[in-house]
Chains A and B, each alone.
Chain A
Amino acid sequence: MAVTTRLTWKEEKSLQQLLGNVSLRLLYKSRVHGDSPENMLRKCALQGSTITVIYFHNSQQDCILGYLTVIDYDFIKPKVFFYSSFEKDETSKTKAACLNTTQKITDEELAFYSSDNKIFSVIPKNSRLFIHDVLRERLGLNLYGNFKYSEWEVFRLEGIKDVAGYVRKRTRATERRNELLEDLRAYKPYADLVSEIRILLLGPVGSGKSSFFNSVKSVFQGHVTRQAAVGADLTSITELYRVYPIKDGEDGKSLSFMLCDSMGLDEKKGAGLCLDDIPYILKGCIPDRYQERIHCVAYVLDINSISNLSSNMVAKLKQVHKEVLNCGIAHVALLTKVNNYDEVLQDDLLNMNKSMTSKTQVMNIQRMLNIPISNILMVENYASELTLNPLKDVLILSVLKQMLRAADDFLQDLP
């Protein structure tokens, strides 16, 4: 038998949806190298992060079940188990569950224990698999008792960050994204005081305001969109003041918030957004098919340029901020081009990580504009990829949600 994987393209794609653009390199194949833990270890010890895939049949469907072993330095390793089933009509279901486990390998069995309960084991002698009810439920498996597998393979996993936390985040990301999409679709401004929240994006030329709008729209559309023109040039690409509604998916209805994109603040005097226009924009006097005021201002800044902001630019920002404070409008800071965006949120994807919020750039913004840390948001826009990625989506949606919360605070505070 040739040493080629039995993983079909569909099965590989379901794993990529779970883990991102990973590559699987076949190391061990039970039917060729001998079905036993010892033989597997011979080939797979010290190979970095690996993924083990077990193939079996369940009521005429081909299914795969398996787990990831991420090289990490904790003794108690959190393990991510996954299960995918593929229907005849080409649809597939994939579920993942993350549990803290310890591993025990004997020459009879490969087993995983979670708080002293055996939750999963592979028994090569009679090609059987054991799954504890707890895990069975989490994976949505409807098989009972021990069951037989046909073969298993172990691959080295490339293209994944060798950090257990990352894997946990990535597998949770799709679920969290759907939760956020639901929340945002159902969102209604505080006490229905206005029909839509208007969020104004302000910031230096090239900081990523139009890109942020495109990114938000892309997440709701499900694919990369380019409604606002973006790019790098000496002067602002955006020349018009635009108010963009966000539609829910293709041909859906408009959601209860809008993003207002402005020209960038330019270094040079007399170029870029004119500061005198700001009060009018804030109070809603610039005609663009709508007449209402701004409810939340987002200062959009490239995180990598914060330490190099010229005194001119800082002065412009402070001047704008004075106006914003005068009108009592809610304000947040949006830091863009954050390359390690996957580190911004904690593992549960609910709050920001202290390691990111304690960065000097964040501290600088807090001091410069007096914005509370929880309102200094970090994001990476979709400006360099052609496909969406759930972890990025979660960050973009979380940031949007925070802006709406700030706007609600402002509405609550109105006399």
Chain B
Amino acid sequence: MEIRGINTSFETVHIICFSIFNGKCILFSTRLRSMAVTTCLTWMQEKILQNHFGGKFNLLYKASVHKFSLEHLLQVCSNQGPTVTVIYSKDHVTGAFMQEGYQEGKTSFITLFALQETKILECKMKLCVPSMLFVTWTGWHRQKKYEFGIDLTGRKLHISANTSKELGLLQCESISFEECEVFQCEDILNKRKMEEVTELRESLWSSMRTYKPYGDLVHQIRILLLGPIGAGKSSFVNSVKSVFQGRVVHQALVGSDTTGISQKYRTYSIKDEKDGNSLPFILCDSLGLGEGEEGLCMDDVPQILKGHVSDRYQFNPMKPITPGHDNYVDSPLLKDRIHCAAFVFNVNCIEYLSDEMVAKIRRVRRKLIECGLVHLVLLTHVDSMDLITKDDLIDIYRCPPVKSQLEAVHKALGFPLSDILLVSNYTSEWELDPLKDNLILFALRHMLWAADDFLEDLPLEETREMLLAV
């Protein structure tokens, strides 16, 4: 068999193939169009189908590219494991899920479905060979009544009245369709993927353990968590602790009270369960930013940043800390200062931030810039976004709905996209989940790099002073 490219013109390439197929010589000429082999399904439709049938869809066959013929479909799709065949007609998206896929001679259960907006209706077909789904033009078959018959050449779908009803479709003997696609269903969290996830966690974990702050200027980086009440700051502290202690931990108090649960300024050092050593960072949890007179007092912010506030200081929303207070640190050293800040927001609440809150955030941000502090944004509750499921956490930064939320944060608050990190805190779980761990560790690593940038940026005289004072 030989393939030759002939007549290359700007838009099409004629490929003439000779093929030995079942002992017969078949000649088929195909025009290679500039159409990409991409699915017609929107991200949302694909997600709904994937959530329903399980697994990730891998497009194998597209009728408009590979030809509208059963023979071509079977050539590409036979023996590819579980498959989903999708038919696109003007008003509906319908199809069939086959657990055994297209295997010659093998009977299997076929589940028919119809996708309407965000609902799926399904109906099970009797046990049969997958090719029975298709209408082929022999005289005998023309009389046969089809439950669900796909006529690829004629581009018509024949559905029986019963099946139509079960699938919630308008009663119609035959529907014409424009496109047919077949996908292979791949197990997302299969062994291979899990290997990747665990290896990634190992490497992130060990880089955390071997991390040394820039120039050894301090032993532990102080990371300040700021953000609206209820955003998930204390939850994040608990989640980080959980990752390093091997089980879900609830040390910091969390909850949903409109005046904020964390009333005290708390600094948390974390021990690595593997070797009992303290990790090179301290998480500093503050009172949330509130509306009006509630929440963190704006004038407390510079005090915290410069290191004047010590652990367990009880916040007063009405007035900032004063030098006379028990928890006031008079001459803070470099190790007492904040080295990196993170604004924490609930990703689902960004669009509901009041103008007042946005203004507060911008003011705090200016203060951080004045102090030369590098700061990031942490978006929490990322897995409770519409349509996002746990499996998406592997590749969460590339999911379309998430990308548009990142854009929204960028537009609303002015942070560059590369400063926005995504996490999902541990709330109701008992056991750890490596997918969540990876997001948490990835975010932490960026925070440590940001702290390094801050330390590197400090004027030399300042660092020398601070170190000498130790």
**Do A and B bind?**
yes
Q: CA separation between A230 and B421, bound complex, in Å?
A: 16
Cβ contact within 8 Å between B369 and A229: yes
Proximity string of chain B (11-54) to chain A, C-beta cutoff 8 Å, 1 when within and 0 when not: 00101010110000000001010001110000000000000000
Cβ contact within 8 Å between B196 and A46: no
Contact A45/B419 with A104-B2, A232-B410, A237-B369 known, Cβ cut-off 8 Å? no
Cβ contact within 8 Å between B60 and A9: no
Measured between beta carbons, the chain B residues less than 8 angstroms from A233 are 362, 414
Chain B residues with a Cβ closer than 8 Å to the other chain, count: 62
A211 on the B face (CB < 8 A):
yes
Measured between beta carbons, the chain B residues less than 8 angstroms from A162 are 36
Q: CA separation between A21 and B36, bound complex, in Å?
A: 18
B417 on the A face (CB < 8 A):
yes
Measured between beta carbons, the chain B residues less than 8 angstroms from A103 are 3
- In the assembled complex, 10 residue pairs joining A and B whose CB atoms fall closer than 8 Å, in A order, are A2-B81, A8-B192, A26-B186, A46-B66, A106-B2, A156-B37, A224-B418, A227-B454, A233-B362, A239-B369
Contact A107/B20 with A9-B192, A229-B374, A382-B418 known, Cβ cut-off 8 Å? yes
Cβ contact within 8 Å between A383 and B416: yes
Residue in contact with B184 in the complex, picked from A26, A46, A211, A247, CB distance below 8 Å: A26
Which of A32-40, A54-62, A122-130, A393-401 participates in binding chain B? A32-40
A289 on the B face (CB < 8 A):
yes
Which of B72-80, B242-250, B266-274 participates in binding chain A? B72-80
Measured between beta carbons, the chain B residues less than 8 angstroms from A231 are 365, 414-416, 419
A40, chain B: closest CB distance, angstroms: 11
A326, chain B: closest CB distance, angstroms: 32
Measured between beta carbons, the chain B residues less than 8 angstroms from A38 are 1, 19-20
9 closest A-B pairs by beta carbon, nearest first, are A384-B417, A9-B196, A3-B81, A227-B453, A42-B75, A232-B414, A48-B37, A231-B414, A107-B1
B98, chain A: closest CB distance, angstroms: 13
Cβ contact within 8 Å between A386 and B418: yes
Cβ contact within 8 Å between B397 and A386: yes
A144 on the B face (CB < 8 A):
no
A407, chain B: closest CB distance, angstroms: 24
B457 on the A face (CB < 8 A):
yes
Cβ contact within 8 Å between B414 and A46: no
Cβ contact within 8 Å between B1 and A105: yes
Which of A41, A45, A74, A75 is most buried by chain B, counting CB atoms within 10 A of its CB? Answer: A45
For the complex with contacts A41-B3, A231-B365, 8 further pairs of A-B residues with Cβ separation under 8 Å are A3-B79, A26-B58, A38-B20, A105-B1, A106-B1, A156-B37, A227-B374, A232-B414
Residue in contact with A105 in the complex, picked from B2, B20, B199, CB distance below 8 Å: B2
Give B contacts to A, CB under 8 Å.
1-3, 5, 8, 10, 13, 15, 17, 19-20, 30, 32, 36-38, 58-60, 65-66, 75-76, 79-81, 184, 186-187, 190, 192-193, 195-196, 199, 215, 362, 365, 369-370, 374-376, 397-398, 410, 414-419, 421, 446, 449-450, 452-454, 456-457, 459
Cβ contact within 8 Å between B456 and A227: yes
The number of chain A residues touching the other chain, given as a range, is 35 or more
Measured between beta carbons, the chain B residues less than 8 angstroms from A253 are none
A27 on the B face (CB < 8 A):
yes
Cβ contact within 8 Å between A227 and B457: yes
A178 on the B face (CB < 8 A):
no
Proximity string of chain A (228-271) to chain B, C-beta cutoff 8 Å, 1 when within and 0 when not: 01111100010100000001000100000000000000000000
Contact A46/B418 with A8-B195, A105-B1, A223-B449 known, Cβ cut-off 8 Å? no
A385 on the B face (CB < 8 A):
yes
Contact A224/B449 with A3-B79, A38-B1, A383-B418 known, Cβ cut-off 8 Å? yes
Measured between beta carbons, the chain A residues less than 8 angstroms from B76 are 27, 42-43
Cβ contact within 8 Å between B453 and A225: yes
Measured between beta carbons, the chain B residues less than 8 angstroms from A188 are none
In the complex, the chain B residue whose C-beta lies closest to that of A211 is B416
In the complex, the chain A residue whose C-beta lies closest to that of B372 is A229
A318 on the B face (CB < 8 A):
no
In the complex, the chain B residue whose C-beta lies closest to that of A37 is B1
Residue in contact with B417 in the complex, picked from A43, A74, A107, A385, CB distance below 8 Å: A385
A290 on the B face (CB < 8 A):
no
Near B by CB (< 8 A), chain A positions 93-142 give 103-107
A119, chain B: closest CB distance, angstroms: 18
Proximity string of chain A (196-232) to chain B, C-beta cutoff 8 Å, 1 when within and 0 when not: 0000000000000001000000000001111101111
Measured between beta carbons, the chain A residues less than 8 angstroms from B421 are 386
Measured between beta carbons, the chain B residues less than 8 angstroms from A42 are 75-76
A354 on the B face (CB < 8 A):
no
A322 on the B face (CB < 8 A):
no
Cβ contact within 8 Å between B446 and A224: yes
Cβ contact within 8 Å between B184 and A3: yes
Proximity string of chain A (2-19) to chain B, C-beta cutoff 8 Å, 1 when within and 0 when not: 111101110000000000
Measured between beta carbons, the chain A residues less than 8 angstroms from B38 are 158
Contact A41/B414 with A9-B196, A46-B37, A105-B1 known, Cβ cut-off 8 Å? no
Measured between beta carbons, the chain B residues less than 8 angstroms from A384 are 416-418
In the complex, the chain B residue whose C-beta lies closest to that of A3 is B81
Measured between beta carbons, the chain B residues less than 8 angstroms from A225 are 449, 452-453
Residue in contact with B199 in the complex, picked from A3, A9, A47, A71, CB distance below 8 Å: A9
Q: CA separation between A4 and B188, bound complex, in Å?
A: 11
Cβ contact within 8 Å between B65 and A46: yes
Cβ contact within 8 Å between B417 and A383: yes
A195, chain B: closest CB distance, angstroms: 17
B70, chain A: closest CB distance, angstroms: 14
A20, chain B: closest CB distance, angstroms: 13
Residue in contact with B80 in the complex, picked from A3, A21, A105, A251, CB distance below 8 Å: A3
In the complex, the chain A residue whose C-beta lies closest to that of B3 is A105
In the complex, the chain B residue whose C-beta lies closest to that of A5 is B192
A14, chain B: closest CB distance, angstroms: 13
Contact A9/B195 with A107-B1, A226-B374, A239-B369 known, Cβ cut-off 8 Å? yes
Contact A48/B36 with A25-B59, A26-B184, A251-B215 known, Cβ cut-off 8 Å? yes
Q: CA separation between A33 and B417, bound complex, in Å?
A: 44
A6, chain B: closest CB distance, angstroms: 9
Measured between beta carbons, the chain A residues less than 8 angstroms from B452 are 225
A89, chain B: closest CB distance, angstroms: 14
In the complex, the chain B residue whose C-beta lies closest to that of A242 is B457
Measured between beta carbons, the chain A residues less than 8 angstroms from B369 are 229, 237, 239
Measured between beta carbons, the chain A residues less than 8 angstroms from B457 are 227
Q: CA separation between A386 and B419, bound complex, in Å?
A: 8
In the complex, the chain B residue whose C-beta lies closest to that of A108 is B1
Cβ contact within 8 Å between B65 and A75: no
Contact A226/B75 with A38-B20, A289-B459 known, Cβ cut-off 8 Å? no
